[in-house]
Structure 1
């Protein structure tokens, strides 16, 4: 395993956890702005309609995917700057 991959693994895990926290906070703020509700619907919430639950899930998935891609790409670029090689 190359040095860049060894460096990238623990950093990628740490940034992944941080990215998850950022994505969660971003989703909560976005849901509050879009729906005007403090809490997003849960799939097991019988008082919420299908459309609302699926819209919340789609929005959450999109936000998490974009944040994950940005964190992964940023981490790889950072490792390349430090080591001179791409970690993938």
Structure 2
């Protein structure tokens, strides 16, 4: 039971059929998360509107690199979870089987 909802476990066939959907949703999530992060970074770091600092860019202090990496990680994780969950629910509505568990 998760979130007040009982989810039925899908069989092996559901998991196999869901794999292409999962791969496609991961790609979409990565693209969406990248765009969201760029917009967020522009707003929180107006001095550096181009790109977030990378770990090998010596002109940025370590704290700024770590903050950018943390924000990017959170955005990617949350976006991936939302897209994966949405894909799994859509799959369940179409097939009647939950693709996970």
Please report the TM-score for the alignment, with normalisation by the length of structure 1.
Answer: 0.94
- CA distance in 1 between counterparts of 2:16 and 2:94 reads 13
Which residue number corresponds to residue 75 of structure 2?
Answer: 63
- C-alpha deviation, 1:8, in angstroms: 1.1
Bigger mean CA deviation after superposition, 4-13 or 77-86 = 4-13
The alignment of Structure 1 onto Structure 2 pairs a total of residues equal to 87
RMSD, aligned α-carbons? 0.8
**Higher Rg of the two aligned structures:** 2
- Map of 1:23 onto structure 2: 33
SS at match of 1:39: coil
Structure 1 stretches of 5 or more lacking a match? Answer: none
Q: Give structure 2 stretches of 5+ with no counterpart.
A: 1-11
Runs of 4+ in 1 over 2 A off after TM superposition: none
Query: Is structure 2 residue 6 aligned with structure 1 residue 6?
Result: no
